[in-house]
Amino acid sequence: MTRSARAFWFKTPGECELRETGVPAPGDGEVLVRTLFSGVSRGTETLVFRGGVPENQYAVMRAPFQEGEFPGPVKYGYLNVGVVEEGPMTGRTVFCLYPHQTRYVVPADAVTVVPDSVPPGRAILAGTVETAVNALWDAAPLIGDRVAVLGAGMIGCSVAALVAGIPGVRLELADPDPTRAAIADALGVPFTTPEAARGECDLVIHASATEAGLTRALELLAPEGRVIELSWYGDRRISLPLGEYFHSRRLTIRSSQVGTVSPARGRSYRERLALALDLLADPRFDALITGESTFDELPRVLPMLAGGELPALCHRIVYP
Partners of 3 in beta bridges? 23
**Strand duo 252-255 + 221-229: pairing:** parallel
- Residues 6 and 307: their CA atoms lie apart, in Å, by 25
153 contacts 179 by C-beta, under 8 angstroms: no
Distance, CA of 272 to CA of 275 (rounded, Å): 5
pLDDT of 193 reads: 98
Distances (CA, A) of 238 to 135, 206, 253: 21, 14, 14
Predicted local confidence at residue 182, as pLDDT? 97
**pLDDT confidence of residue 41:** 85
Give ∠ CA 226-238-179 in degrees, rounded to 5: 75
**Domains, the chain, ranges and CATH?**
3-122+280-318 (3.90.180.10), 129-255 (3.40.50.720)
3-state secondary structure the chain: CCEEEEEEEEEECCEEEEEEEEECCCCCCEEEEEEEEEEEEHHHHHHHHCCCCCHHHCCCCCCCCCEECCCCCEECCCCEEEEEEECCCCCCEEEECCCCECEEEEEHHHEEECCCCCCCCCHHHHHHHHHHHHHHHHHCCCCCCEEEEECCCHHHHHHHHHHCCCCCCEEEEECCCCCHHHHHHHHCCCEECCCCCCCCEEEEEECCCCHHHHHHHHHCEEEEEEEEECCCCCCCCCCCCCCCHHHHCCCEEEECCCCCCCHHHCCCHHHHHHHHHHHCCCHHHHHHEEEEEEHHHHHHHHHHHHHCCCCCCEEEEECC
pLDDT reported for residue 261: 86
Q: Return d(Cα 65, Cα 103) in angstroms, integer.
A: 13
Residues 6+ apart with CB under 8 A from 6: 18, 19, 20, 21, 101, 102, 295
Task: With CA atoms as reference, report the closest residue to 24 among 49, 47, 4.
Answer: 4
Residue whose C-alpha is closest to residue 159's, from 220, 252, 230? 230
pLDDT given at position 233: 82
- The pLDDT score that the predictor gives to residue 32 is 98
The tens digit of pLDDT for each residue in 45-55 reads 998 999 989 89
Question: Mind listing the pLDDT tens digit for each residue in 134-174?
Answer: 999 999 999 999 999 999 999 999 999 999 999 999 999 99
Residues paired with residue 229 on neighbouring β-strands, in sequence order: 206, 255
- How far apart CA 216 and CA 205 sit, in angstroms, is 11
pLDDT under 70 in the chain at which residues? none
